[in-house]
Amino acid sequence: MEHSDLGPLRVSRVGLGCNNFGGRLDLAATRQVVDAALDAGVNLLDTADIYGNRGGSERLLGELLQGRRDRVVLATKFGGEMGDGAVGGAPAYVKQALEASLQRLQTDHVDLLYHHFPDDATPIADTVGAMSELVAAGKVRALGVSNVTADALAEAAATAEIAAVQNEYSLLAREAERELLPACLELGVGFVPYFPLASGFLTGKYRPGEAAEGSRLGTVEEGASVTRRASASFATVERLQRFADEQGHSLVELAIAGLASRPGVASVIAGATKPEQVRANAAAGDWQLTAGQLAALDAIA
């Protein structure tokens, strides 16, 4: 597995999305997925305080990473509704949210802390300013923002050093290419896409009128543009499948490597519920598309 720089961090080209842990997956199943990821060379584990029915993902990771915390780059997020009435990016809440995450994760620091969602009530500069205090305190190594516009990223980066932006990006949802990805390149911020498989459309197992086994299709989750993907062109998916076949790769590998090969993309976050899915996702990290292949891909999608 190749690695790239994400601010002060060195992360695997493919990261593991941990949103299924503590919800769809219990401890035993989560252990299998985490073990498979580490065995495949994946070191970036991406969770959030709201994952796993509010805290479940962090709690399971805290248990499973005992004795091997130093093998992973651990990212978490705050700002979602945790059921206690405290939500958003208010400076007073930032430290409170992190302390709760550290307790669940059974660690004294996180490597990457994201502000999960834009907060209309709090200027992003205020939120990021409070986050930077946690870096100074040694409890966070690097900062990130998520689900932001290019303008919001610029405001955040003017306040403190931002290592990462995590937004939705796939071969079927390419809005990030218009403004956000160029802004990341200009500011020297690593882009970390989520939902690279477009909630199942790019697994190669989905057909009109039926959901792929184990996919998110048919469910409404935070940040998922389900309606848009439900109306995506299956003709585009078929063209992508043909292109992947011509290159000697799977559609999953194309979906992930087609993003990871873009300048500015540091790591691609892919979720998994089974070890074999982890291995398939990780295999995509070995494929670096050429400029010619990327141009051909752009002509398709």
The span from the CA of 184 to the CA of 264, in Å, is: 7
Residue for token pair 């956000």? 180
CB-based contact 117:74 (threshold 8 Å): no
Q: Using the 8-state DSSP alphabet, how is residue 139 labeled?
A: S
CB-based contact 98:78 (threshold 8 Å): yes
The span from the CA of 190 to the CA of 162, in Å, is: 9
CA distances from 83 to 49, 50, 86, 236 (A): 11, 9, 8, 40
Q: Read off φ and ψ for residue 142, nearest 5 degrees.
A: -150, 155
> Would strands 9-12 and 3-6 be described as parallel, antiparallel, or unpaired?
antiparallel
The set of catalytic residues is 51
